[in-house]
Chain A
Amino acid sequence: MIEVERLNVHFGHNQVVHDVSFHVAPGETFGLVGESGSGKSTVLRTIAGLVPGWDGGLAVDGKALGPKRDRAFFKSVQMVFQDPYGSLHPRQTVDRILAEPLAVHGIADAESRITRALEEVALPRVARFRYPHQLSGGQRQRVAIARALIADPSVLLLDEPTSALDVSVQAEVLNLLADLRQARQLTCILVSHNLAVIGHLCGRLAVMQGGRIVEILRQEQLRDGTAQHAHTRELIALSHELEG
């Protein structure tokens, strides 16, 4: 469903992604972990068409991606950002924010879709006519997830979708994502620094360091001690330490 082949990304003279390759099968949830600045968000943003300076091969659903993406791409591929503040328009109510993708993609029954979307992400009804600054951080991230889902995408790119959420909502959102990918056959890439979150949702994952993938492994390998790379082992050890 998603193919990334020898991807390089530059910002001016600074190359931040080096020779990254991985494939994601339809319906699979693939994880990306790695230290801060290792290039996780950049890989995701490049797939989403938000970064201009790249070379290598990118394909979604068998179609090779060029520098410009068409409208069909933006309907089928949706991204949820790390940062629930910057990604929501500050002067639009939640209602407007959710109505916009429906208008852009010419989808009818806005009323019922918005109501359902708010329920799906467990937002109270009163939140519908509030502005982003009137919501807590967690409530804002749920709006961002609702917006990404409302036009029925087939690919969801999730950049730290739960790192601004408290654990109870995180559990709800993780269960929600698990249900949705099942029900809607969603293919996802999930970026997180939390290995337990990645292990919970992803069958396979890539570990990044310094803009490169150092290891691709299956979820069970997080537990059975067969992770190869030193950086992966370090992340696993830290995660166990925090679980105490």
Chain B
Amino acid sequence: MTEAPPSEAPLVEIRKLRVDFPNPAGFTQAVRGISFSLGREKLGIVGESGSGKSVTGRALMRLLPGSARVQAEALRFDGIDVLAASERQMRALRGGRIGLIMQDPKYSLNPVMTVGRQIAEAWLAHNKGGRKEAREAALSLLEQVRIRDPLRVLDSYPHEISGGMGQRVMIAMMLAPNPDMLIADEPTSALDASVQAEILKLIEELVSARGMGLMLISHDLPLVSRFCDRVVVMYAGQVMEELPARDLHRARHAYTRGLLDCMPSLSAPRPRLPTLTRDPAWLEPQR
């Protein structure tokens, strides 16, 4: 018998995270005591709309509005206590060590700055070099995310590119500073199937090659099961189950099963899609 090696501290540690938003009648409990950790691996977070996936990701980056009440026994990134860190420490994490690829590119791209300049600035903030190198790096990043016409896109404004191109630009921008971790919040839901697969393969390659951690937030269960190592299934601010991604199709929880069943299928079309019958027991505090 050999001694177990000292367990490496996880990149992300979340224990009993709660997030409440004030409303006129009291508080909306967006996240209700969830716990999970993330190493240099690919973790998928699935669950229906409003289940608290994005709020969880944003809490980790301390990007929630000041009105939000965030409590946790532990909320750490690489040992840094996110709830206690200084604003300066947080700025170094955001857009530096942690890249956030958002659900909606138009929302996070600056509308009055060309795409090329935005990527170049992200690169300059964390790399040594001049304007010329930055522009070259931006061009290379656009090529890496497989923009077909990178020179034109470099000088385009965000409203001049399609939704899918905007999403790829966001990914290029987030990769510019060489982050340790990516939080990808619905990174490909605006992309066509072929680009979606390409982008996720790209993210997967980059994550493995650079030894990054990935938190992939998505409502697309087949996609998550294909690209992640582990999956956390959320409902109404709680974790319903956690399982290896490749076993997703064998999920036991009725909620997860319901989600799998209500997708339209190309090979087996049905006139009507089954919808989810929500069991009140799922709202009870889990374990």
Contacts and interface: CB of A to CB of B under 8 A. Distances in A.
A222 B262 contact: no
Given A83-B106, A134-B21, A174-B273, A167 B259 contact: yes
A138 B164 contact: no
Contacts, number: 153
Among A135, A160, A164, A168, find the residue whose CB has the most chain B CB atoms closer than 10 A. A168
Interface in A150-209: 160, 163-172, 174-175, 178, 193-197, 199-200
B239 interface: no
A243 interface: yes
Given A83-B104, A168-B48, 9 more contacts: A11-B160, A34-B192, A36-B163, A160-B163, A166-B51, A167-B48, A171-B263, A223-B267, A235-B192
A239 B263 CA distance: 13
Chain A contact patch, size range: 35 or more
Q: Which secondary structure dominates where chain A touches chain B?
A: helix
| Interface of B, helix, strand, loop or mixed by DSSP | loop
B193 A194 contact: yes
Contacts of A46: none
Given A36-B192, A160-B163, A242 B103 contact: no
Nearest to B235: A168
A163 B186 CA distance: 9
9 contacts: A37-B148, A37-B161, A83-B163, A85-B106, A171-B274, A194-B193, A195-B266, A200-B273, A243-B266
B177 to A, nearest CB: 25
A51 to B, nearest CB: 12
A188 B74 CA distance: 49
Nearest to B46: A166
Interface string A133-156: 011111100000000000000000
A169 B163 contact: no
Interface string A55-86: 00000000000000000000000000011111
B80 interface: no
A213 B267 CA distance: 24
